[in-house]
Amino acid sequence: MKLTAISIFPEYFAPLDLSLIGKAQKDGLVTFAAVNLRDFTHDNHHTVDDTPYGGGAGMVMKPEPWGEAIDATLDSSEDCDLIVLTPAGKRFNQRMAERFTHSRQIIFACGRYEGIDARVAEFYRSQPGVRVHEISIGDYVLNGGEVAALVMIEAIVRLLPGVLGNPESLLEESHNESGEVEYPSFTKPAQWRGLNVPEVLLSGNHGEIARWRREEAERRSQSVD
Ligand code: JD8
């Protein structure tokens, strides 16, 4: 899987060299590149924004640098999922993360300012082999798309075969098919600051343990708004 994030702050993606995703890159399971949008400007000031047509506060990102940057990133031999992060987008969830594991190439368009000129998404919707997705990671406002792209990249890459050390752990995860969340976990010491591990977990009775965990997961699912 080829992953690319286009942004005026490509250094935001340095953490991807760490941990899981860093190892996935070393193991050749994914390739990741952060592309600087300003490399696709041609004026001395590397201008990427301008005032909004129709007036209003703030600045809008110009379409030309995005067109050149995405064209340069598109690998014509492969289909591509172009993800445009926006607070107005479709809400990201675990099912979408699972669907994106089948992509050969994903480009994350990480805007800033008031957002990206809407014609960029419109143009690539008309391009064969490019699937455009306008996505939000949640009902709160961020200053740009970078951290949202980081969230999506981790949620997608960790599902790829060979990335997680013990893929079994994927089976019991929160927000799985049934939308259930996980049961609470405990480890040694059996007593900590006067707090005990639930007796049933020390019982060795796997039937009882499984029932307790199911009940706890259901109880927590109720409380998750
Ligand atoms: C992309 C620019 C900032 C947003 C004026 C603040 C996602 N869940 C999410 N919340 N916010 C974003 C997001 C915010 C972005 C951009 C995504 C590009 N901004 C803008 C509109 C109001 N500023 C997001 N995914």
Q: What pLDDT was estimated at residue 82?
A: 98
Say how many Å lie between the first and final Cα of the chain, rounded. Answer: 34
Using an 8 Å Cβ cutoff, are 95 and 151 in contact?
A: no
Rounded to the nearest 10 degrees, what angle do helices 19-26 and 146-157 cross at?
Answer: 60
For atom 22 of ligand 1, which residue has the closest CA?
114
pLDDT tens-digit map of 156-205? 999 999 998 776 777 667 665 566 678 999 999 999 999 999 999 999 99
CA distances from 3 to 33, 150, 198 (A): 6, 11, 43
Q: What pLDDT was estimated at residue 148?
A: 98
| Residue 148 Cβ contacting ligand 1 at under 6 Å | yes
| Residue 7 Cβ contacting ligand 1 at under 6 Å | no
Residue the block writes with tokens 């209003």: 56
Which stretches of the chain drop beneath a pLDDT of 70? 167, 171-172, 174-180, 224-225
Q: What pLDDT was estimated at residue 51?
A: 98
- 3-class secondary structure, 5: strand
| Residue 109 Cβ contacting ligand 1 at under 6 Å | no
Q: What pLDDT was estimated at residue 182?
A: 81
Q: What pLDDT was estimated at residue 220?
A: 85
Using an 8 Å Cβ cutoff, are 18 and 82 in contact?
A: no
Q: What pLDDT was estimated at residue 21?
A: 85
Token couple for 173? 């995860």
For atom 9 of ligand 1, which residue has the closest CA?
87
| Residue 87 Cβ contacting ligand 1 at under 6 Å | yes
Using an 8 Å Cβ cutoff, are 131 and 80 in contact?
A: yes
| Residue 145 Cβ contacting ligand 1 at under 6 Å | yes
